[in-house]
Structure 1
Amino acid sequence: MKIFIPTIFALLLCCPALSATLSVGPERVLKRPSDAARIAKSGDTVVIDAGDYSGDVAVWRQHRLTLRGSDKRARLQANGKSAEGKAIWVIKGNNVVVENIEFSGAAVASLNGAGIRFEGTHLTVRNAHFHDNQMGILTGSNPRSDILIEGSEFNDNTVDYHRHGKLGHNIYIGAIRRFTLRNCYVHDAQTGHNVKSRAQENYLLYNRITDEHGASSYLIDLPNGGDAFIIGNVLRQSPGSDNWTAIAYAGEYNRSNPDQNLYAVNNTFVNDRSRGVFIHNHGNAEVVSINNLLVGNVIPLQGSGRQRHNLRTEGGGFVDRDAFNYRLLPGSPAIGRGTAPGMSSSGVSLRPEFQYRHPLSREKRRERDPIDIGAFAFDGGL
């Protein structure tokens, strides 16, 4: 006896459910992002209309989600609320993409209230803005996870250290496998660090990481060491910066990551403090510093390492130093003074292909031979 299964039923048995797009907004059936978080399925896309969503917090447990602002950014303001006492959004699912969202105002009793607390595996954040939280992004320590942040801004995520004895950071990445930060504007973390990462591999490429009006501590802190590539970044310490050091490497005792290599290539570091340190290598790691433009009273390297063709100068020949425009003017001492940076010990090219373009973008770097020192190739002073 043959049993015939209707075609539609057969498809449902053999194929996963199709992904859906859920629309969120004041004029929609789903009024708030948290409404979508309760009904979304793995693989869905949630599109959030522009506007303010005050006090709306959510936990996202689904996998393969895309969470996106529709046109102009959707603005999530904590207004005293938090999900699980942690963040505006707690993301527990894997392979999640967040785009075009603004997160602000997260504050919790444990003093680490974040715009996003990420507890899953693999996260991508694009064109987002995190500001005035205790932490911008705070992640767990998943050794299988990769995190990419690009084209996003982080600023003024902080805790009152003098009152609470605890630091708030713009970005705090746990002990994951790989962290990539590119084409981002990260600034003014106040008493905390602008970028802190415990990842096994770190790629900080073509960003503007600056203390402009505040008093942040490290610009970049990599306390566990690891393989790190810091290439083509614009870095600045203000007169009020809390720490002498711009880049701190392997500063914690365990230094738990197996590989210990730091490559700092073609960065521009402007130190407007009375004195400063570009890189402080706390361990026995291999630190290589090439073609960096160091402006002000700067110690290029504290601790062991190798240096080639770095330039220390009181004035970099910039288009507008006061406005943080560190592109090169004709006659800059950085023009044509560099060297081919070559490859890392693991075969990664160290030559900068791009340069940061403000805000939140990058552009192809003009090829010159010999290469210009610093984050920008001379382009006529435009």
Structure 2
Amino acid sequence: MRFARWCTALVVLGVTTRAMPVDNLPPAPEELGSIRRNAQGRLEVVRPPNTSQSSDLPVTDGLPASKPAAQEPVSEKKTPHAAASSRTIVVGPHEQVTSIKEAARIARDGDTIEIRSGEYRQQAVVWTQNRLTIRGTGKRPLLIADGDSAEGKALWVVRNAEMSIENIEFRGVRVPSGNGAGIRFEKGHLKVVRCAFFDNEMGILTSNFGDMVLEVEDSEFGEAPKHAGMLHHLLYAGAIARLSVSGSRFQQGYRGHLIKSRARESAIMYNLIVDGAGGSASYELEFPNGGVAWVIGNVIGQSATTDNPELISYGAEGQRWPDNALYLAHNTLIDDKPDGRFLRIWIDRMPPETEVWAINNLLVGRSNFTPQAPGRYDGNRVVERSMLVGAPALAYGLPSNSPLRGTARHPGFVREQSLAPSAEFHLPAGKHPLLVGKPLSPGALQ
């Protein structure tokens, strides 16, 4: 009698009805049948009608899963070493998925989206996944806003994610508020590699959450629009935890700044931040609320037609963060404006203990460069523009026979970090490591 009750209980457990999934729980199991003892005294499963020995349902991780109502149009391949649930979704004119909007609809956490070369118009997207990798393959895919925007903010809005975006070009974003961005980064950790942002009201624009991190590597920003509206900064980081920019090029601003950072910590290293001939950007580099700023190994230059006489500005809008310091080492600063200023520290708006280290910078032009805050000012050298050589787009290096070659002393360490450069900018965007042990010269290009 007890055995019969036990068998009955197994039948009840084995036969379940389909229910709507709750909290992403797995689907209810299929009926397996009832258990009984056969004529030989052995236990066996008696399957219900219309159930074959082997299920035709697709298998995930060795377990049967319910068939989807309709097959998602995904061109996918397994990513080596990735979790079993991750996929690679391929987007392109000759793929199953032809639009980025469709890829965004079907993508899940952990997926990779590969975008084939080509031109993609009106592909504004809000990315809501928590973990995602998006990369262009081959020649950089070109995304043209063509009047489209996500939530009136940007071509792409990154809601809250651990996300990597690589090898994509964003162009032509316009929104009614005047601050349409190629990417609006709202929360999380975003890494942007080998991307380009041209003719957007903002290249990248972030929100102001104190735990956000933005990393930009080997990317290009330029061609700020010249219509009325907000100031069009090429890269604008709000009050976030950290901004890191390396190996990237910024040029052709218009009234806005090339880089503006309100981050608690900013690391601006090995970039070409030069507005270019006829440029009319405001500051080339601005830290309006201070914070800890590392500015190492950059070429930074403003044109004679700049909209603002200062090249680098620190603290113009007063203190936001408890820790404030500017470390400016081995940069080449070019000022073609006769009455310009290489560096402006708004010390009257910052705490008196704010320190500035300016070491081994190469100053090109006749602009002002004087100590404005307590700290270290060593090894900075002034040269004429005519004394520099290099490729037309990068003619900011000392010639091999310059008496300044190899004369810079090691800039030392601060906060357990070396101020000596370990790389230098390389055209069109990127960086090359420096030879270890080679004597240092003032400036960015060794």
Counterpart residue number, 2:432? 363
1:176 aligns with 2:243: no
Instruction: Spell out the pairing of 1:2-13 with structure 2 (5 A cutoff).
Output: none
Counterpart for residue 209 of structure 1: 273
Shift of 1:275: 2.7
Q: Structure 2: how far apart are the matches of 1:9 and 1:358?
A: 47
**1:277 aligned to 2:344?**
no
Q: CA deviation at 1:35?
A: 0.9
In the TM superposition, what is the alpha-carbon distance from 1:370 to its structure 2 partner? Answer: 5.1
Aligned with 1:260 (options 307, 324, 327): 324
- 1:174 and 1:11 map into 2 onto residues whose CA distance is 47
1:340 maps onto 2:410 in alignment: yes
Q: How does 1:307-326 map to 2 (within 5 A)?
A: 307-315=377-385, 317-320=387-390, 323-326=393-396
Q: 1:110 to 1:333 in 2, by over 3 A?
A: farther
Alignment of 1:211-230 (within 5 A): 211-213=275-277, 214-230=279-295
Partner of 1:238: 303
**Distance verdict in 2 for CA 1:46–1:152, change over 3 Å:** same
Local SS of the residue matching 2:104? helix
Q: What is the distance in 2 between the residues matched to 1:151 and 1:111?
A: 27
Over residues 310-361 of structure 1, what are the superposed CA-to-partner deviations in whole Å (9 max), with x where a residue is unaligned?
00122473224864321221232431332211111x2111111111111212
What percent of counterpart residues are identical? 39
Q: Deviations over 1:1-35 (max 9, x none)?
A: 5779899688699xx86111111111222211111
C-alpha distance 12-319 of structure 1, shift in aligned 2 (>3 A): farther
Secondary structure of the structure 1 residue equivalent to 2:105: helix
Q: 1:8 to 1:219 in 2, by over 3 A?
A: closer
* Structure 1 contact 318–332 (Cα < 8 Å) conserved: no
Matched, 1:147 2:214: yes
Structure 1 distance, partners of 2:60, 2:384, is 73
User: By how many angstroms is 1:369 displaced?
Assistant: 6.7
CA distance in 2, matches of 1:330, 1:39: 56
The 5-angstrom pairing of residues 100-115 of structure 1 reads 100-115=167-182
Q: Does 1:192 align with 2:244?
A: no
Q: How far apart are residue 93 of structure 1 and its match?
A: 2.9
1:374 is matched with 443
Matching residue within 80, 93, 103 for 1:36 = 103
Normalised by the length of structure 1, the TM-score is: 0.91
**Contact persistence 1:22–1:47 (CA under 8 A):** yes
**Residue number in structure 2 paired with 1:136:** 203
The RMSD of aligned alpha carbons is 2.3
What is the rounded CA distance, in whole Å, between the counterparts of 2:344 and 2:183 in structure 1?
A: 30
Based on CA coordinates, which of the two structures has the bigger radius of gyration? 2
Residues 189-239 of structure 1: per-residue CA shift (max 9 Å, x gap): 121100001111111110000010321111101111111110000111111
Between the aligned partners of 2:111 and 2:188, the Cα distance in structure 1 is 17
Taking the aligned partners of 1:338 and 1:316, their CA distance within structure 2 comes to 21
Q: State how far apart, in whole Å, the 2-side matches of 1:67 and 1:9 are.
A: 25
Aligned counterparts of 2:245 and 2:127: Cα–Cα separation in 1 = 23
Question: Where does structure 1 lack aligned partners over 5 or more consecutive residues?
Answer: 378-382
Does the residue aligned with 1:80 lie in a helix, a strand or coil? coil
2:140 corresponds to which letter in structure 1?
R
The residue that corresponds to 1:48 in the other structure is 115
| Paired residue total | 371
Which amino acid in 2 is paired with 1:141? N
Residue 193 of structure 1 aligns to a residue in which SS?
coil
Aligned to 1:81: 148
Distance 1:9 1:362 in 2: 43
Alpha-carbon deviations, 1:267-319, whole Å to 9, x = none?
00111111321221113420110000001112124632431010012247322
SS in 1 for 2:210: coil
Whose strand fraction is larger, Structure 1's or Structure 2's? 1
> Contact between 1:158 and 1:191, CA under 8 Å: does it hold in 2?
no
Distance 1:88 1:331, change over 3 A: same
The answer to whether the 8 A contact 1:130-1:157 is kept is: no
Q: Deviations over 1:14-63 (max 9, x none)?
A: xx861111111112222111111111111111111111111221111001
CA distance in structure 1 between the partners assigned to 2:254 and 2:183 by the alignment: 19
Aligned residue type for 1:56? Q
Partner amino acid for 1:47?
E
Instruction: Tell me how far apart the structure 2 counterparts of residues 8 and 155 of structure 1 sit (CA, whole Å).
Output: 47
Structure 1 237/364 Cα, relative in aligned 2: closer, same or farther at 3 Å? same
Q: Are the counterparts in 2 of residues 334 and 374 from structure 1 also a CA contact under 8 Å?
A: no
CA contact (8 A) 2:345 2:373 kept: yes
Per the alignment, residue 78 of structure 2 pairs with none
Where 2:126 maps in the other structure, the secondary structure is: strand
Q: Is the 8 A contact 1:316 1:332 kept in 2?
A: no
Inter-partner Cα distance in structure 2 for 1:194 and 1:75 = 22
- Matched residue, 1:353: 422
Q: Is the 8 A contact 1:342 1:351 kept in 2?
A: yes
Secondary structure class of the residue paired with 1:319? coil
Residue in structure 2 matched with residue 380 of structure 1 by the alignment = none
